[in-house]
Amino acid sequence: MKTQVYIIVVITSLTACKFNSSQKALPILGERHAATKTVNGQAVTDTVYSTIPAFKFVNQYGDTITDKSLNNKIYVADFFFTTCPTICPVMHRNMLPVYNEFKNTADFRIISHTIDPAHDSVPVLKKYADKLEIAGNTWWFLQGKKDDTYHISKSYLVSVQEMNPKGQYIHDGYLILIDKQKRIRGTYEGTDAAEVTKMIADIKTLEAEPDQVNAK
């Protein structure tokens, strides 16, 4: 009898440890493949995760922003347009707590890509940021060639489409969390305040991961 109790206790504590450790790291999302390389004359197989490719856009201050501007940054990306009457206001209302939580964190950024660059010029984006009371360099509103924006959206696993017959753009409201190695670590429904609260917690978890703390 006593032995059984011991066994149960041991099993329970083991699973408890496993549970805890899985809580301390976020999953790595997106496509992956196994790559074999030669290290010290021996073949080593490793998992290679998909990363956000190189890009070049302009922010609300007219500064050029590339993938290099986000080197060694944890960042959140989304897609919107300033005249969006549906999900954008609620997405960015929900993003404000994220901005306020991390605006003094040097290695954190938010990037919002406009999918309507014809209307959303740099001054329009600046005005939008001002009205949202966004200052400094924590939250960039990015503008660029439409094709580039639509192309990069695929890397973030976000769906963006041209205008529908009613003249509205279709895009989904996901917020994508990217780590310092430019890998996708979380996707959150930006129109759901509870999901965004979870994202804030996940960003803190991510910041504490050894890979992120030691990133050069």
What 87-91 contacts at long range (C-beta under 8 Å, 24+ apart), as own/partner pairs, is 87/173, 87/190, 87/191, 88/173, 90/173, 90/190, 90/191, 91/173, 91/175, 91/190, 91/191
**For another protein, which is the closer residue by CB, 15 or 86?**
86
Contacts of another protein in 94-123 (CB under 8 A): 96
Pick one of 85, 136, 165, 210: the residue that binds another protein (CB under 8 A).
Answer: 85
Q: Minimum distance between the CB of residue 29 and another protein, rounded to whole angstroms?
A: 27
The stretch near another protein (CB under 8 A) out of 30-38, 81-89, 97-105, 205-213 is 81-89
The footprint of another protein on this chain (CB under 8 A) covers a number of residues equal to 15
* Dist CA 95 CA 55 (whole Å): 23
**Sign of the four-CA dihedral 107, 62, 152, 135:** positive
Q: Is 87 in the site for another protein (CB under 8 A)?
A: yes
Helices within the chain (DSSP H only): 2-23, 88-102, 122-131, 146-155, 193-208, 210-213
Q: Is 90 in the site for another protein (CB under 8 A)?
A: yes
Written as six digits, the tokens of 207 are 């910041």
Q: Is 182 in the site for another protein (CB under 8 A)?
A: no
**For another protein, which is the closer residue by CB, 32 or 119?**
119
Q: Is 183 in the site for another protein (CB under 8 A)?
A: no
Residues near another protein (CB under 8 A) are: 83, 85-87, 89-90, 92-93, 96, 128, 130-133, 191
